[in-house]
């Protein structure tokens, strides 16, 4: 859906301000400043009173920060006087919408919070003796308009971030089942062919039409209806295959009963139609598997590790999982030290070989449930599921030593010793995955700056 640009949103916000006399605007801003603490507390009480909302706000960091952020938000949105003040304020609303989407806080709960705030703020304006009659009316309209506009901007950002997340989730779902589906590829092609052969044979020996093998109940039909269609859910080809299976079973096979063997011409016509239907199914199946290859885009071509495209999906999933199971996960941000020198001294091909061996070491050293990403260049990220900080540090240290001892193979039988720097952070319950990611990155940065070949623990 096309988005409304920040400039246009700022202009619309500006139009609300333009009709408000300066004096009234000053009173609104003064009320926001004077009552920011009480308004933030009221908002917070209302939100925590709701069982669903409190799930998202339960983390102590959120509680500590929310109050302060809420106060700043209230004063900021009412601080603007002109269009030029508004662009950064619009940008702030966009940022908040993105955070809400990352955390996955439902938009209706955000709107609910805004409604509480509006009601309380309008009460304050009505109680202001400096705002009488028409002025109180103008002040209320501006207050409500400003909060609504801010919410509209947040919601717009939220929806597009959410659409992006859903697409990434969908791609990830396909990607994760793709390994399974991939292994079925040859088997299902063969199964489709086996069904067709059986049908042709039964026809040739004059089997009763009612006894002909139905495609929907064949090995291929069962697989496709139960698994393939799920894995490729939503694609046109999957729908076409499902329709074709139905057509074969409901329309074409019964035609044999109507076309007795003696009527050769009709029988040939039916067989041709069946062959065409099978060919079309095989063709669409190939298309689906070709799309499956595109899903390989989820893997880094050189190292076969996950690429960072799936990082938000995986982190959001793990955060939800940790919340439900009261468990923790940890991140190791890993960077090869002085990797540029490998390329410079031995060539790009040697650099590629090193990256592949590094990926293999990381894969072999982690458990099946862990995730390993190539973040780009010579930087990797390992997500250790169900792991606390202490164990993650031990794991990082083990990896660091393992790599230090490793003789990396280069072309022409050369070998090379390398080191890595590692930043470690454990998820502490905060709903926004950017935090733990940033902690690991900052720790990696410090590991690099304090001499490399070391493991540094992230700080809150
Ligand atoms: N061979 C190869 N090199 C790559 C690839 N991706 C990035 N690089 C190179 O990796 C090097 C990264 O260099 P820097 O970011 O300066 O880091 P560094 O030399 O490892 O130094 P520090 O990280 O500070 O220890 C650059 O020279 C990139 O060209 C790749 O896929 N293959």
Atom of ligand 1 nearest to the CA of 354: 1
CA atoms within 13 Å, Cβ hemisphere of 148: 9
Taking residues 379-389, what's their average pLDDT? Answer: 94
Are 267 and 317 part of one and the same domain? no
Give the pLDDT of residue 435.
Answer: 93
Query: Which is more confident, 93 or 4?
Result: 93
User: CA-to-CA distance for 40 and 264, rounded, in angstroms?
Assistant: 84
116 near 43, Cβ under 8 Å? yes
Number of domain units in the chain: 3
Residue 182 counted as domain residue: no
Are 335 and 281 part of one and the same domain? no
Q: Among residues 243, 278, 298, which one ends one of the domains?
A: 298
* Residues in contact with 430: Cβ distance below 8 Å, sequence separation at least 6, in sequence order: 59, 61, 62, 436
SS3 1: coil
Query: Which is more confident, 280 or 44?
Result: 280
Q: Which two tokens stand for residue 436?
A: 């733990």
Give the pLDDT of residue 297.
Answer: 59
User: CA-to-CA distance for 249 and 256, rounded, in angstroms?
Assistant: 11
- What digits encode the pLDDT tens for the residues 313-330? 889 888 888 888 788 999
Taking residues 262-271, what's their average pLDDT? Answer: 76
Q: Can you tell me which residue has the tokens 């595109």? A: 294
Distance 421 CA to ligand 1 centre (A): 14
Are 254 and 371 part of one and the same domain? no
Are 67 and 104 part of one and the same domain? yes
Q: Which two tokens stand for residue 274?
A: 């069946």
Closest CA to 158 of 90, 100, 103, 89: 100
- What digits encode the pLDDT tens for the residues 139-165? 999 999 999 999 999 988 887 777 777
Taking residues 419-433, what's their average pLDDT? Answer: 94
User: CA-to-CA distance for 120 and 125, rounded, in angstroms?
Assistant: 9
Query: Which is more confident, 452 or 460?
Result: 452
CA separation (Å) from 68 to 210, 225, 399?
Answer: 74, 53, 41
pLDDT exceeds cutoff 60 at 124: yes
Residue 406 counted as domain residue: yes
Domain that holds residue 431: 306-457
Residue 189 counted as domain residue: no
Are 118 and 217 part of one and the same domain? no
Closest CA to 307 of 296, 319, 317: 296
Residue 185 counted as domain residue: no
Pairing mode of beta strands 420-426, 455-457? parallel
Distance 274 CA to ligand 1 centre (A): 57
Closest CA to 91 of 79, 112, 77, 74: 77
Q: Tell me which residue has its CA closest to atom 7 in ligand 1.
A: 377
Let me know the angle formed at the C-alpha of 313 by 178 and 431, rounded to the nearest 5 degrees: 155
Residue 200 counted as domain residue: no
> In what order do the strands lie in the sheet containing 306-307?
306-307, 371-376, 379-384, 330-336, 420-426, 455-457
Are 319 and 452 part of one and the same domain? yes
Q: Among residues 248, 281, 298, which one ends one of the domains?
A: 298
Range in 53-62, 251-260, 295-304 with the lowest mean pLDDT: 53-62
Q: Can you tell me which residue has the tokens 């998820």? A: 427
Q: At 380, which helix (H) or strand (E)?
A: strand 379-384
pLDDT exceeds cutoff 80 at 190: yes
Query: Which is more confident, 366 or 226?
Result: 366
pLDDT tier at 379 (50, 70, 90 boundaries)?
very high
102 near 434, Cβ under 8 Å? yes
Give the pLDDT of residue 77.
Answer: 94
Most confident of 58-72, 88-102, 314-328: 88-102
Q: Tell me which residue has its CA closest to atom 11 in ligand 1.
A: 340
pLDDT exceeds cutoff 80 at 279: yes
Q: Tell me which residue has its CA closest to atom 13 in ligand 1.
A: 340
Farthest-apart Cα atoms in the chain, separation: 100
User: CA-to-CA distance for 31 and 106, rounded, in angstroms?
Assistant: 29
pLDDT exceeds cutoff 70 at 440: yes
Atom of ligand 1 nearest to the CA of 350: 1
Q: Where are the beta strands (DSSP E) in 276-368?
A: 306-307, 330-336
User: CA-to-CA distance for 171 and 162, rounded, in angstroms?
Assistant: 14
Distance 419 CA to ligand 1 centre (A): 13
Residue 1 counted as domain residue: no
Q: Tell me which residue has its CA closest to atom 12 in ligand 1.
A: 340
pLDDT tier at 345 (50, 70, 90 boundaries)?
very high
User: Using a 6 Å CB cutoff, which residues line ligand 1?
Assistant: 302, 335-340, 343, 348, 351-352, 355, 377-378, 448, 452
Distance 395 CA to ligand 1 centre (A): 24
Q: Among residues 166, 198, 232, which one ends one of the domains?
A: 166
453 near 337, Cβ under 8 Å? yes
Are 156 and 281 part of one and the same domain? no
Residue 350 counted as domain residue: yes
Average pLDDT, the chain: 87
CA separation (Å) from 105 to 36, 69, 312?
Answer: 23, 16, 15
pLDDT exceeds cutoff 90 at 277: yes
Range in 118-122, 235-239, 441-445 with the lowest mean pLDDT: 235-239
**Domain containing residue 49: CATH number:** 1.10.490.10
Give the pLDDT of residue 107.
Answer: 80
User: CA-to-CA distance for 29 and 215, rounded, in angstroms?
Assistant: 71
Distance 356 CA to ligand 1 centre (A): 14
User: CA-to-CA distance for 98 and 161, rounded, in angstroms?
Assistant: 6
User: CA-to-CA distance for 46 and 59, rounded, in angstroms?
Assistant: 17
Query: Which is more confident, 307 or 360?
Result: 360
Q: Tell me which residue has its CA closest to atom 15 in ligand 1.
A: 340
Distance 271 CA to ligand 1 centre (A): 61
Give the pLDDT of residue 259.
Answer: 63
Are 250 and 108 part of one and the same domain? no
**Domain containing residue 452: CATH number:** 3.30.70.270
Mutation test residue for ligand 1: of 339, 346, 452, the one with most atoms within 8 Å of CB: 339
Taking residues 67-96, what's their average pLDDT? Answer: 89
Distance 130 CA to ligand 1 centre (A): 64
Taking residues 27-40, what's their average pLDDT? Answer: 94
Atom of ligand 1 nearest to the CA of 302: 31
Are 291 and 312 part of one and the same domain? no
Q: Which two tokens stand for residue 452?
A: 């490399």
Q: Tell me which residue has its CA closest to atom 21 in ligand 1.
A: 338
Atom of ligand 1 nearest to the CA of 340: 19
CA separation (Å) from 255 to 99, 210, 267, 363, 406?
Answer: 59, 10, 9, 55, 68
Are 281 and 312 part of one and the same domain? no
Q: Rounded to 10 degrees, what is the CA torsion of 446, 450, 453, 458?
A: -30
pLDDT tier at 19 (50, 70, 90 boundaries)?
confident
User: CA-to-CA distance for 457 and 182, rounded, in angstroms?
Assistant: 39
Are 337 and 452 part of one and the same domain? yes
ipTM: 0.93
Q: Tell me which residue has its CA closest to atom 26 in ligand 1.
A: 340
pLDDT exceeds cutoff 80 at 365: yes
Mutation test residue for ligand 1: of 303, 343, 416, the one with most atoms within 8 Å of CB: 343
Q: Tell me which residue has its CA closest to atom 23 in ligand 1.
A: 337
Are 138 and 43 part of one and the same domain? yes
Q: Tell me which residue has its CA closest to atom 29 in ligand 1.
A: 340
Give the pLDDT of residue 419.
Answer: 98
User: CA-to-CA distance for 229 and 277, rounded, in angstroms?
Assistant: 18
Q: Tell me which residue has its CA closest to atom 4 in ligand 1.
A: 377
Residue 178 counted as domain residue: no
């Amino acid at each position: 859906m096309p988005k409304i640009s920040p400039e246009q949103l700022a202009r619309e916000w500006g139009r609300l301000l333009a009709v408000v006399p300066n004096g009234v605007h000053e009173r609104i801003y003064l009320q926001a400043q004077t009552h920011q603490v009480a308004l933030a507390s009221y908002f917070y009480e209302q939100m925590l009173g709701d069982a669903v909302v409190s799930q998202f706000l339960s983390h102590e960091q959120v509680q500590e920060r929310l109050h302060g952020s809420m106060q700043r938000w209230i004063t900021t949105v009412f601080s603007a006087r002109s269009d030029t003040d508004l662009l950064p304020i619009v940008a702030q609303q966009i940022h908040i919408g993105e955070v809400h989407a990352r955390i996955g806080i439902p938009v209706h709960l955000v709107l609910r919070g805004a409604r509480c705030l509006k009601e309380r703020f309008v009460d304050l304006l009505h109680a202001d003796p400096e705002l009488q009659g028409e002025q109180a009316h103008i002040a209320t309209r501006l207050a409500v308009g400003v909060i609504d506009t801010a919410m509209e901007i947040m919601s717009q950002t939220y929806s597009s971030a959410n659409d992006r997340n859903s697409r990434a989730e969908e791609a990830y779902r396909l990607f994760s089942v793709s390994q399974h589906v991939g292994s079925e590829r040859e088997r299902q092609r063969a199964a489709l062919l086996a069904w067709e052969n059986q049908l042709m044979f039964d026809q040739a020996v004059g089997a009763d039409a009612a006894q002909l093998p139905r495609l929907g109940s064949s090995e291929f039909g069962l697989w496709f209806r139960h698994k393939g269609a799920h894995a490729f859910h939503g694609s046109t080809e999957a729908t076409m295959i499902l329709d074709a299976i139905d057509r074969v079973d409901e329309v074409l096979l019964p035609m044999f009963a109507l076309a007795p063997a003696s009527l050769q011409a009709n029988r040939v016509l039916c067989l041709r139609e069946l062959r065409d239907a099978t060919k079309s199914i095989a063709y669409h199946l190939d298309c689906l598997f070709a799309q499956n290859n595109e899903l390989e885009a989820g893997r880094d071509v050189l190292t076969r590790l996950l690429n960072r495209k799936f990082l938000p999906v995986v982190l959001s999933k793990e955060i939800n999982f940790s919340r439900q199971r009261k468990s923790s996960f940890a991140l190791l941000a890993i960077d090869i030290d002085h990797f540029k020198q490998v390329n410079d001294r031995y060539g790009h091909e040697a650099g590629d070989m090193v990256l592949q061996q590094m990926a293999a070491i990381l894969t072999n050293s982690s458990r099946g449930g862990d995730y390993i990403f190539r973040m780009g260049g010579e930087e990797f990220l390992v997500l250790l599921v169900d792991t606390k900080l202490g164990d993650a540090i031990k794991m990082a240290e083990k990896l660091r030593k393992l790599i230090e001892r490793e003789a990396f193979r280069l072309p022409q039988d050369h070998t090379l010793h390398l080191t890595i720097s590692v930043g470690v952070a454990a998820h502490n319950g905060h709903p926004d995955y950017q935090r733990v990611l940033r902690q690991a990155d900052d720790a990696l940065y410090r590991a690099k700056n304090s001499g490399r070949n070391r493991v540094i623990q992230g700080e809150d």
